Chain A
Amino acid sequence: QVQLVQSGAEVKKPGASVKVSCKASGYTFTSYGISWVRQAPGQGLEWMGWISAYNGNTNYAQKLQGRVTMTTDTSTSTAYMELRSLRSDDTAVYYCARGRDYPDYWGQGTLVTVSS
């Protein structure tokens, strides 16, 4: 069965970076891309971007350009999302999901808290 398992919760100080991992299983990793979506407390869903697991092509939300980097490691079927220069409004649950257009399987979410 398809599973996406994310790394654990993180607490970071403003200005720091965070790197969240997403390990995929149950399907051919390079056949699908991985999307990243975040959700601030009590708020809606925000698309962050997408990476092709086939060739590493990326597509980032304009508001995060320059602060976010998405990568994959095909040898371990793992996707990564790094966000730099963290601010308090980056506090959110971060989700990885399979596919770009309409992601069908989602990770369990990783809470990233940015606080001094």
Chain B
Amino acid sequence: DIQMTQSPSTLSASVGDRVTITCRASQSISSWLAWYQQKPGKAPKLLIYKASSLESGVPSRFSGSGSGTEFTLTISSLQPDDFATYYCQQYNSYFVTFGPGTKVDIK
């Protein structure tokens, strides 16, 4: 299976901050990467697919970039609703895998 790692595991930030989360794959996955946001007790929400395509209805402050083995999710100006855990997920291989998650909390 393709292994996914994320850094940092926890990120403390303030409203208005620019936030960047990194996701790395154990082998090249081209651009077959998605990002999800999850809040406690809720199902994950799709934010980004194909590394940089914004899902319909997702605010434009979210953006994704990267290809191959290294990817980033950027929140340009953190809003109160953005405090959550973020997961990357690869779908390049027959077996889909998720990263371990990055929790964004209030500084």
Contacts and interface: CB of A to CB of B under 8 A. Distances in A.
A59 B97 CA distance: 13
B83 interface: no
Interface string B84-103: 00010101001111111100
Interface residues of B, number: 23
Interface stretch (A10-18, A70-78, A102-110): A102-110
Interface of B is mostly: loop
Contacts, number: 53
Interface in A63-105: 95, 97, 100-104
A107 B34 contact: no
A9 interface: no
A101 B34 contact: yes
A57 to B, nearest CB: 12
A14 B101 CA distance: 29
B78 interface: no
B55 interface: yes
24 contacts: A37-B44, A37-B98, A44-B98, A44-B100, A45-B38, A45-B44, A45-B98, A47-B95, A47-B97, A50-B96, A61-B95, A62-B95, A97-B43, A97-B44, A100-B96, A101-B34, A102-B46, A102-B50, A102-B89, A103-B46, A104-B46, A104-B55, A106-B44, A107-B43
